[in-house]
């Protein structure tokens, strides 16, 4: 088991190097001179520009810039963004906000997805099942920015049940509406996945045997149908945590959440290489780690595939 | 009817039946409307008695039994009649009442040990919840006791294992433990051993007998094997197409079947047929059950030589055991035997004995690790690709699964014609003529040509597979469990067909099977394999009459119905 985890951690090294190199190259190839852009409409002061270029190593060739960036990572000094703040501090500020948002979205989609999916599966073909199936299809079919603006307008502006935008503190009550919007798409997937899996398991021989033992319907559902049905669902949810963190850009934009997505978007626009690469690298690592977590969870849920060898 | 039977019935009359099914009809709602799976079924189980329901797949035997424990699938329901359990009609009982009865009054042992245990819970947990649901003490000691009573060694630590760590036989013991955990008065055993090897099957059934006798449990045994039913049950109920066609005390029913279907079943159950052959040998009379022609009666083919010689054959598989390491697994260990032209040689053994690996090597689908396979004087490992192509024409396979071995996208004509086309034999017209001839040979109507496999029954598909194998006029046919997946009556028809084709075409069969009863009927010589080794070989008569090895004796004893006394002649009026 520990060898397996160690092996998986060692695999993170090439993933980390590959991801940073790729992202760095993409940012490097962006058209336009970020330093010139900094001056906006004012005339460019060549001396200041040259100084800035040197400070951000923009006068160096691509390989040199990349290696200098790697060096800065391993000396725990990520450098500064264009406004002069240390990038490490920026990361420490935006990641907790997005993590809060993503976890809230995950709890929302997991809880409601599993509960609705279970009920729909157990009542296959009945009214509830049909309604939920159609509704989930609608949710999957509508793009997130449409849903986001729709909910922001109806619930936030017209009904006034929640604040239409998020304050700079990004408290938990502030984030409820954005979390629902962020989790809606995955909620529909979780629901459908649970439903299919429950229907499949309901007809399994061991469920019939469990009923023959004299267990009540509730016990059969809880012990034999639900746990077995959750195996694929948990796998999806684990992988989804990474996707939610990275995918929050649109939602954060709509609700003005001061999180990773917002900051990343601004950094891409202004061509701040080190900031973009730092954020993306952390996202990649989170994605890898949540996948590892899924694999471990999978072994825990299904004893047939434990990683003991 | 003898006086003793009358007396017994008089005694029973004072006792109330434990289970009584009266005029039961079960309907299933399908997209094509209501389908009646069971009609007018009636049977009686007395306390402590074992009653067997026998029938082929689709006869309604399992449906009837499931109705008695209220476990009909969602779209099925009792349409008419009564199911009386200890005098109480439970045919339309509430779910609450059924939950009360299940487990502690009516237990069940299901068919397939592989799919009936939940893979994500420990065996002990699955026993414990049974005890708990029925209000019995469910500590670790109680669980271990239940498991060890079902014959599971080292039950305390076994209870902590998961189903995938158990063999099929052990899983079935765990399921028996669960079925009997709460000492029910009635146990429904739905084909409890049909997925297991014969020797394991015997052990499990013996143990089940012992336990139910000790506990005084009545058993409703569902089986397709009439020999097994007669051996294990006091009463046999024969079902055919949803109806009970005959019922009565087992031996009486076997010796004097009244209904035509029962008569056919008695005539073709391999376990019974092999028993009759045995009886006929002892009395020195001829019997129709012997499909293999006796040595004197055959027209010897032109060449009477060893068409196949297997010499010191070995096959070692490398099993991966993580991180580039591997362990050797010897599937076939140094076996040698010869197959005489125009005869049938059977390789028998339980699952994992290596018999199918031998078949694959003879077919040149697997390369032997060492040893030689000499076909018609030529070592098959030395063949170049052109010679191998010619070899394939002369040695053809018939596989076990008639559902998986035919391409569902090919119609029957294309399936049978394919080998001819591959080997570029004849033109279009002559190939079509050949396919028609082949269909005649396997007794399928020529209209079958335009049909697809999913439109045919299992027996018809296996006939198509035989026709395909015969298309190239092969000399040797390797039958790998070719009749195992078929119902007894169909099995008997296919075996007869194979025997007839052999006499007509002088074919040589290498018959791979786990079923010794079938071997008795069809084979001239037998090779018995155990764990990759050839433990005994000889003529079928010698092996069956005086087996030399303990393992062979165990296999022979495991044929259901071993204890039955049957007359060698079967009067099928």
Contact B175 A209 (CB under 8 A): yes
SS3 B524: coil
The contacts of residue B571 (CB under 8 Å, 6+ apart) are none
| pLDDT recorded at residue B3 | 42
Least confident stretch, B139-148, B186-195, B428-437 = B186-195
CB-defined contacts A:B, below 8 A: 84
Contacts of A304 in chain B (CB under 8 A): 119, 162, 164
SS3 B79: strand
Least confident stretch, A3-12, B331-340, B409-418 = A3-12
Query: Residue B416 and residue B422: Cα distance in Å, rounded?
Result: 11
| pLDDT recorded at residue B301 | 47
Query: Residue B442 and residue B440: Cα distance in Å, rounded?
Result: 5
The helix, strand and coil proportions of chain A, stated in percent and rounded to the nearest 5, come to: 80, 0, 20
Q: What is the band of A107 on the pLDDT scale with cuts at 50, 70, 90?
A: very high
- Mean predicted confidence (pLDDT) in A152-178: 82
The contacts of residue A89 (CB under 8 Å, 6+ apart) are none
Contact B120 A301 (CB under 8 A): yes
- Cα torsion A153, A158, A160, A165 to 10°: value is 30
Residue B514 clears pLDDT 90, i.e. is over it? no
Least confident stretch, A242-251, B67-76, B118-127, B172-181 = A242-251
Q: What is the band of B573 on the pLDDT scale with cuts at 50, 70, 90?
A: very low
Contact A228 B118 (CB under 8 A): yes
Contact B115 A208 (CB under 8 A): no
- Rounded to the nearest angstrom, the minimum Cα separation between B107 and chain A is 7
SS3 A155: helix
Instruction: Tell me which of B280 and B233 has the higher pLDDT.
Output: B233
Q: In the beta sheet, which residues pair with residue A144?
A: none
Q: How far is CA B559 from the centre of its chain?
A: 11
- Mean predicted confidence (pLDDT) in A247-275: 84
B145 exposure class (CB count in 10 Å sphere: 0-12, 13-18, 19+)? middle
SS3 A64: helix
Q: Which two tokens stand for residue B412?
A: 């029957």
Least confident stretch, B206-210, B327-331, B361-365, B396-400 = B327-331
Query: In chain A, pLDDT over 70 holds for what percent of residues?
Result: 98
Q: Contact A241/A102 with Cβ under 8 angstroms?
A: yes
| pLDDT recorded at residue B36 | 84
Contacts of B69 in chain A (CB under 8 A): 212
Q: Could you tell me whether strands B50-54 and B235-240 are parallel, antiparallel, or unpaired per DSSP bridges? A: parallel
Q: What is the band of B238 on the pLDDT scale with cuts at 50, 70, 90?
A: very high
Query: Residue B278 and residue B440: Cα distance in Å, rounded?
Result: 34
Contact B102 A227 (CB under 8 A): no
Q: How far is CA B238 from the centre of its chain?
A: 18
Contact B120 A223 (CB under 8 A): no
What's phi and psi for B330, nearest 5 deg?
A: -90, 105
| pLDDT recorded at residue B125 | 93
Residue B565 clears pLDDT 70, i.e. is over it? no
Which H/E stretch holds residue A215? none
Residue A153 clears pLDDT 90, i.e. is over it? no
Scored b (16 or more CB within 10 A) or e, B253-267 reads bbeebeeebbbbbbb
Least confident stretch, A123-137, A239-253, B238-252, B367-381 = A239-253
Please give the C-alpha separations between residue A272 and each of A49, A55, A70, A95, B309, in angstroms, as whole numbers: 15, 13, 16, 18, 78
- Mean predicted confidence (pLDDT) in B419-436: 91
Contacts of B120 in chain A (CB under 8 A): 227-228, 231, 301-303
Q: What is the pLDDT of residues B6-54, one digit of tens each?
A: 444 444 455 789 999 999 999 888 777 788 889 889 999 999 999 999 9
Residue A208 clears pLDDT 80, i.e. is over it? yes
The contacts of residue B55 (CB under 8 Å, 6+ apart) are B61, B224, B238, B239, B240
Residue of B69, B95, B115, B120 to mutate when probing chain A, most A C-beta within 10 A: B120
Instruction: Tell me which of B505 and B275 has the higher pLDDT.
Output: B505
- Using the structure block, give the residue that is written with the tokens 């068409």: B307
Contact A205 B104 (CB under 8 A): no
| pLDDT recorded at residue B14 | 59
Q: Which two tokens stand for residue B141?
A: 């000691």
Q: Contact A202/A208 with Cβ under 8 angstroms?
A: no
Q: What is the pLDDT of residues B460-496, one digit of tens each?
A: 888 899 999 999 989 999 998 888 777 788 888 888 8
Q: How far is CA B169 from the centre of its chain?
A: 15
| pLDDT recorded at residue B295 | 45
Q: Sign (positive/negative) of CA torsion B81, B87, B89, B90?
A: negative
Q: What is the pLDDT of residues A44-93, one digit of tens each?
A: 778 888 887 777 777 778 888 888 888 877 777 777 777 778 888 888 88
| pLDDT recorded at residue A131 | 94
Query: Residue A299 and residue B409: Cα distance in Å, rounded?
Result: 38
Contacts of A309 in chain B (CB under 8 A): 321-323
Q: How far is CA A57 from the centre of its chain?
A: 31
DSSP letter (8 states) at residue A43: P
The contacts of residue A96 (CB under 8 Å, 6+ apart) are none
| pLDDT recorded at residue B413 | 92
Q: Could you tell me whether strands B306-320 and B326-340 are parallel, antiparallel, or unpaired per DSSP bridges? A: antiparallel
- Mean predicted confidence (pLDDT) in A221-243: 88
Q: Contact A293/A106 with Cβ under 8 angstroms?
A: no
Count of CB atoms situated within 10 Å of the CB of B504? 9
Q: Contact B126/B117 with Cβ under 8 angstroms?
A: yes
Q: Which two tokens stand for residue B14?
A: 């004072």
| pLDDT recorded at residue B2 | 42
Q: Which two tokens stand for residue A224?
A: 């034999």
Query: Residue A263 and residue B49: Cα distance in Å, rounded?
Result: 78
Residue B109 clears pLDDT 90, i.e. is over it? yes
HSE-up of residue B151 (Cα within 13 Å, Cβ side): 17
Q: Which of B166, B159, B146 is nearest to B211 (CA)?
A: B146
Select from A208, A213, A303 the Cβ nearest to the Cβ of B133: A213
Residue B1 clears pLDDT 50, i.e. is over it? no
What residues of chain A have any CB closer than 8 angstroms to a CB in chain B? Answer: 203-206, 208-217, 219, 223-224, 227-228, 231, 301-304, 309
- Mean predicted confidence (pLDDT) in B344-352: 88
Mean pLDDT of all residues in chain B? Answer: 85
Query: Residue B433 and residue A81: Cα distance in Å, rounded?
Result: 84
- Mean predicted confidence (pLDDT) in B227-234: 87
Contact B121 A223 (CB under 8 A): yes
Instruction: Tell me which of B402 and A286 has the higher pLDDT.
Output: A286
Residue B471 region by backbone torsions, left for phi larger than 0, else alpha for psi between -120 and 50, else beta:
alpha
Q: Which of B45, B1, B2 is nearest to B21 (CA)?
A: B45
Q: Which of A75, A55, A76 is nearest to A272 (CA)?
A: A55
SS3 B543: helix
Residue B4 clears pLDDT 50, i.e. is over it? no
Contact A209 B119 (CB under 8 A): no
| pLDDT recorded at residue B249 | 92
Contacts of B99 in chain A (CB under 8 A): 214-217
Q: Which of B61, B9, B57, B71 is nearest to B38 (CA)?
A: B61
| pLDDT recorded at residue B478 | 93
Contact A214 B99 (CB under 8 A): yes
- Mean predicted confidence (pLDDT) in B102-115: 90
Select from B99, B164, B323 the Cβ nearest to the Cβ of A304: B164
- Rounded to the nearest angstrom, the minimum Cα separation between A168 and chain B is 46
Contacts of B95 in chain A (CB under 8 A): 217
Strands (E), B418-483: 476-480
Q: What is the band of B292 on the pLDDT scale with cuts at 50, 70, 90?
A: low
């Amino acid at each position: 088991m520990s060898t397996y985890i160690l092996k998986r951690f060692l695999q993170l090294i090439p993933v980390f190097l590959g991801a940073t190199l790729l992202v760095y190259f993409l940012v490097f190839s962006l058209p336009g001179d970020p330093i010139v852009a900094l001056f906006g409409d004012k005339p460019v002061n060549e001396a200041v520009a040259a100084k800035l270029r040197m400070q951000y190593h923009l006068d160096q060739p691509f390989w040199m810039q990349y290696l200098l960036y790697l060096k800065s990572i391993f000396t725990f000094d990520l450098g500064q963004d264009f406004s002069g703040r240390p990038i490490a501090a920026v990361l420490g500020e935006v990641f907790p906000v997005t993590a809060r948002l993503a976890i809230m979205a995950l709890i929302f989609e997991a809880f409601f997805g599993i509960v609705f999916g279970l009920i729909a599966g157990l009542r296959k073909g009945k009214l509830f099942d049909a309604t939920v199936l159609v509704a989930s299809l609608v949710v999957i079919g509508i793009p997130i920015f449409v849903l986001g603006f729709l909910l922001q307008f109806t619930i936030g502006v017209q009904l006034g049940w929640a604040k239409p935008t998020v304050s700079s503190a990004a408290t938990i009550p502030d984030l409820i509406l954005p979390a629902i919007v962020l989790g809606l798409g995955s909620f529909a997937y979780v629901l459908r996945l649970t439903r299919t899996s429950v229907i499949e398991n309901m007809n399994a021989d061991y469920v019939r045997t469990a009923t023959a033992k004299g267990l009540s319907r509730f016990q059969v559902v809880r012990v034999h149908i639900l746990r077995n049905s959750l195996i694929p669902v948990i796998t999806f949810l684990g992988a989804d945590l990474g996707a939610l963190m990275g995918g929050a850009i649109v939602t954060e934009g709509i609700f003005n959440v001061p999180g990773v997505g917002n900051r990343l978007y601004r950094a891409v626009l202004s061509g701040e290489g080190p900031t973009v690469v730092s954020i993306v690298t952390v996202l990649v690592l989170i994605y890898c780690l949540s996948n590892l977590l899924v694999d471990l969870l999978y072994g825990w849920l299904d004893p047939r595939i434990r990683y003991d060898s | 009817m003898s006086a003793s039977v009358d007396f017994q019935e008089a005694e029973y009359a004072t006792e109330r039946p434990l289970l009584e099914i009266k005029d039961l009809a079960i309907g299933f709602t399908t997209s094509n409307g209501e389908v009646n799976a069971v009609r007018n079924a009636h049977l009686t189980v007395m306390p402590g008695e074992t009653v067997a329901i026998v029938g082929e797949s689709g006869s309604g035997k399992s449906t009837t039994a499931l109705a008695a424990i209220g476990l009909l699938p969602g779209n099925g329901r009792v349409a008419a009649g009564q199911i009386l359990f200890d005098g109480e009609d439970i045919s339309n009982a509430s779910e609450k009442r059924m939950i009360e009865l299940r487990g502690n009054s009516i237990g069940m042992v299901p068919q397939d040990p592989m799919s009936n245990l939940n893979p994500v819970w420990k065996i002990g947990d699955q026993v414990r919840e049974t005890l708990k649901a029925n209000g019995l003490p469910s500590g670790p000691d109680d669980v271990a006791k239940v498991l060890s009573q079902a014959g599971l060694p080292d039950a305390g630590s076994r209870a902590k294992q998961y189903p995938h760590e158990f063999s099929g036989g052990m899983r079935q013991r765990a399921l028996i433990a669960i079925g009997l955990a709460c000492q029910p008065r009635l146990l429904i055993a739905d084909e409890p051993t049909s997925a297991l090897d014969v020797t394991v099957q015997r052990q499990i059934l013996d143990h089940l007998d012992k336990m139910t006798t000790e506990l005084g449990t009545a058993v409703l045994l569902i089986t397709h094997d009439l020999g097994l039913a007669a051996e294990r049950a006091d009463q046999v109920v024969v079902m055919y197409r949803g109806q009970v066609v005959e019922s009565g005390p087992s031996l009486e029913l076997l010796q004097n079947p009244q209904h035509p279907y029962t008569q056919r079943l008695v005539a073709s159950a391999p376990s019974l047929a092999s028993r009759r052959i045995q009886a006929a040998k002892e009395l020195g009379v001829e019997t129709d059950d012997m499909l293999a022609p006796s040595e004197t009666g055959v027209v010897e083919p032109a060449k009477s030589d060893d068409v196949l010689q297997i010499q010191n054959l070995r096959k070692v598989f490398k099993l991966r055991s993580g991180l580039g390491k591997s362990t050797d697994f010897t599937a076939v260990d140094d076996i040698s035997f010869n197959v005489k032209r125009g005869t049938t040689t059977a390789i028998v053994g339980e699952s994992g004995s290596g018999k199918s690996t031998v078949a694959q090597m003879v077919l040149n689908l697997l390369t032997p690790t060492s040893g030689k396979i000499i076909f018609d004087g030529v070592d098959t490992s030395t063949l170049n690709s052109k010679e191998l192509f010619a070899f394939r024409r002369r040695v053809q396979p018939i596989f076990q699964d008639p559902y998986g071995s035919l391409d569902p996208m090919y119609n029957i004509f294309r399936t049978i014609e394919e080998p001819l086309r591959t080997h570029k034999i004849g033109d279009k017209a002559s190939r079509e003529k050949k396919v028609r001839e082949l269909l005649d040979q396997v007794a399928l109507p020529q209209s079958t040509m335009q049909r697809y496999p999913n439109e045919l029954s299992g027996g018809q598909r296996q006939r198509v597979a035989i026709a395909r194998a015969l298309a190239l006029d092969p000399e040797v046919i390797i039958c790998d469990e070719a009749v195992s997946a078929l119902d007894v009556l169909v099995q008997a028809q296919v075996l007869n067909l194979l025997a007839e084709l052999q006499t007509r075409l002088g074919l040589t069969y290498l018959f791979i099977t786990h079923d010794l009863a079938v071997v008795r009927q069809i084979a001239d010589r037998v090779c018995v394999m155990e764990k990759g080794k050839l433990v005994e070989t000889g003529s079928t008569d010698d092996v069956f009459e005086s087996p030399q090895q303990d393992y062979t004796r165990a296999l022979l004893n495991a044929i259901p119905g071993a204890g039955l006394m049957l007359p060698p002649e079967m009067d099928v009026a």
